[in-house]
């Protein structure tokens, strides 16, 4: 199973990249979470922010598979420990690719390698739409979207 999302953003690859990895960007687009990692291939990462376990909730975590600034980031992804007892077994892969198209940036996000009966598949299928919209709005306007949650 593969979830694939493509959006065109009125911004440079550098601006989109910064939204994806900088603390300011990730807080804006990933529900107040910060991406913590050295970003070296094989290194661990975690999106940490307010949630079930307080301000330091690990929402998702995994390992960096590829990291080419302004072009490509790929990582394994597990739900945080407070989301599933068997979180270590629930691994998928996320790959974000940036391409310049005219004067904008094409962001392609693929979330694949889903194990059968993954309990977060349906929810994730919907939540990537919110995140992709948030990335586009943040890069283009500097504002975040308010989904009323």
pTM of the shown model: 0.94
Between 149 and 62, the more confident residue is: 62
Residue 56 has what pLDDT?
Answer: 93
Residue 146 has what pLDDT?
Answer: 84
What is the average per-residue pLDDT within 128-149? 92
Residue 145 has what pLDDT?
Answer: 87
CATH number of 3-141: 3.30.530.20
How sure is the predictor about 113, in pLDDT bands with cuts at 50, 70 and 90? very high
Residue 72 has what pLDDT?
Answer: 98
DSSP 61: E
Model confidence at 149: pLDDT above 80? no
Model confidence at 147: pLDDT above 90? no
Mean pLDDT rounded to a whole number for the chain:
95
Residue 52 has what pLDDT?
Answer: 86
Q: Using one digit for the tens of pLDDT, what is the confidence trace for 47-92?
A: 999 998 889 999 999 999 999 999 999 999 999 999 989 999 999 9
């Amino acid at each position: 199973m593969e979830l694939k999302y493509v959006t065109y953003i009125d911004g440079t690859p550098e601006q989109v990249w910064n939204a994806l990895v900088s603390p300011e960007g990730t807080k804006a687009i990933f529900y107040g979470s910060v991406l913590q990692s050295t970003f070296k291939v094989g290194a661990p990462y975690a999106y940490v922010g307010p949630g079930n376990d307080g301000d330091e909730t690990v929402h998702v975590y995994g390992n960096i598979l590829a990291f080419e600034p302004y072009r490509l980031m790929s990582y394994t992804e597990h739900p945080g420990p407070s989301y599933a007892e068997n979180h270590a077994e629930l691994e998928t892969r996320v790959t974000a690719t940036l391409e310049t198209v005219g004067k904008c940036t094409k962001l392609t996000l693929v979330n694949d390698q889903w194990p059968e009966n993954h309990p977060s598949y349906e929810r994730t299928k919907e939540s990537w739409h919110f995140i992709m919209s948030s990335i586009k709005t943040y890069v283009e306007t500097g504002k975040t979207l308010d989904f009323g949650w």
